[in-house]
């Protein structure tokens, strides 16, 4: 029973889910309208469940390719610690529970956004990963929706600050995931998943795209100040963190930078996002 519970939890990718819930909470916190405790609790619970559902269904569909990659082969399904049908039923059950919680307990707009994220992640992004490197951009769309769920849960409408939160999340995911594909490109090729570094001239293009999207990320992150959503402390933090992120990304354009640079950039991205979102929340 302990092993089963542990494997069920592993299917939900708790670390990724925790980061997503943090960004959802940022949308709730930054909204100008006071939010009841009931809405906060239901929004966070609904988000946890629907993100977990998306992760579980993704791993169900990718169990064969996961078995061919070192970072995923020990997951419950490729390691044969769990029957695929159990994972499928678990994922569907969480989806069935989470959508009504968000739709009827929080609001129609958060429920719609969550449904779009779930469907696009599982039915578009997951199969596209075997066909085209453009799947990264498709996958970044559902990945960017959680803070918008938080914002609309509080305001019941789409507004510029919420859209900026979405944009920051979307843009951040591109250098974050391109960095992963650069230092794990052999694994992706072995698993039959198409990533930009494995295409002709793709490694150089991936490094260039890291810089391009990081420039856009830094520029968009600064827009919270002129619209009045943040102030001097956030501005200083966003500039410093953004320039550091961009500066390290620019090193990737040098011909002598290899997997170690890509791995470090990936780790840097994991620090950048919580710092920027955290200070944004504190400097509201």
Q: Are 169 and 143 in contact (CB under 8 A)?
A: yes
Distance (Å, rounded) from C-alpha 207 to C-alpha 276? 23
Q: What is the pTM of this model?
A: 0.92
Q: Which of 125, 105, 102, 126 is nearest to 48 (CA)?
A: 102
Q: Is 127 helix (H, G, I), strand (E, B) or coil?
A: helix
Average pLDDT along the chain: 94
Between CA 173 and CA 167 the distance in angstroms is: 10
- Distance between CA atoms of residues 42 and 212, nearest Å: 37
| Residue 3 in this model has a pLDDT that exceeds 70 | no
Residues 6 or more apart whose CB falls under 8 angstroms from that of 20 comprise 47, 51, 143, 146
Q: Six-digit token pair at 66?
A: 């996961």
Whether 1 has a pLDDT exceeding 80, the answer reads no
- Domains within the chain, CATH numbers bracketed: 1-157 (1.10.357.140), 159-284 (1.20.120)
Please, which residues have CB within 8 angstroms of residue 271's CB and are 6 or more apart in sequence?
none
State pLDDT tens for residues 71-83.
889 999 999 999 9
Residue 2 has pLDDT above 60, yes or no: no
Pick from 61, 49, 189: nearest CA to 125: 61
pLDDT tens per residue across span 191-232:
999 999 999 999 999 999 999 999 999 999 999 999 999 999
User: Which stretches within the chain are classed as H helix?
Assistant: 2-11, 14-30, 37-61, 63-66, 84-100, 108-119, 126-128, 135-144, 146-155, 160-183, 185-191, 202-221, 232-250, 259-282
Residue 5 has pLDDT above 90, yes or no: no
Note the pLDDT tens digit of each residue in 118-175.
999 999 999 999 999 999 999 999 999 999 999 999 999 999 999 999 999 999 999 9
How big is the chain, counted in residues?
Answer: 284
The whole-number average pLDDT for the span 236-260 is 94
- Please spell the DSSP secondary structure of 237-276, one letter per residue: HHHHHHHHHHHHHHGGGSTT--HHHHHHHHHHHHHHHHHH
| CA within 13 Å, CB half, 78 | 19
Whole-angstrom distance, CA of residue 81 vs CA of residue 76 = 5
- CB neighbours (10 Å) of residue 222? 16
């Amino acid at each position: 029973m302990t092993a089963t519970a542990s494997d069920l939890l592993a299917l939900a990718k708790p670390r990724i889910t925790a980061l997503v819930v943090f960004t959802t909470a940022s949308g709730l916190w930054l909204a100008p309208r006071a939010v009841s405790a009931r809405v906060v609790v239901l929004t966070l619970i609904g988000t946890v469940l629907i993100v977990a559902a998306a992760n579980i269904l993704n791993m169900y569909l990718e169990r064969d390719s996961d078995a061919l990659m070192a970072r995923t082969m020990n997951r419950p399904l490729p390691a044969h610690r769990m029957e695929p049908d159990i994972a499928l039923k678990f994922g569907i059950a969480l989806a069935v529970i989470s959508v009504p919680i968000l739709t009827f307990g929080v609001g129609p707009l958060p429920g719609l956004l969550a449904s779009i994220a779930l469907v696009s992640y599982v039915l578009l992004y997951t199969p596209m990963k075997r066909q085209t490197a453009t799947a990264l951009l498709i996958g970044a769309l559902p990945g960017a929706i959680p803070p918008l769920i938080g914002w609309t849960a509080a305001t019941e409408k789409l507004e510029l600050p919420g859209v900026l939160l979405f944009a920051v999340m979307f843009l951040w995911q591109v250098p974050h995931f391109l960095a992963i594909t650069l230092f794990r490109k052999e694994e992706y090729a072995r698993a039959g998943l198409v990533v930009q570094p494995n295409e002709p001239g793709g490694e150089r293009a991936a490094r260039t795209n890291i810089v391009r999207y990081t420039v856009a990320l830094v520029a968009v992150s600064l827009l919270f100040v002129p619209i009045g959503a943040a102030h001097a402390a956030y501005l200083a933090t966003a500039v410093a963190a953004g320039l550091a992120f961009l500066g390290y990304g620019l090193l990737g354009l040098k011909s002598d930078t290899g997997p170690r640079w890509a791995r470090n950039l990936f780790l840097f991205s994991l620090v950048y996002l919580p710092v920027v979102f955290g200070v944004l929340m504190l400097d509201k």
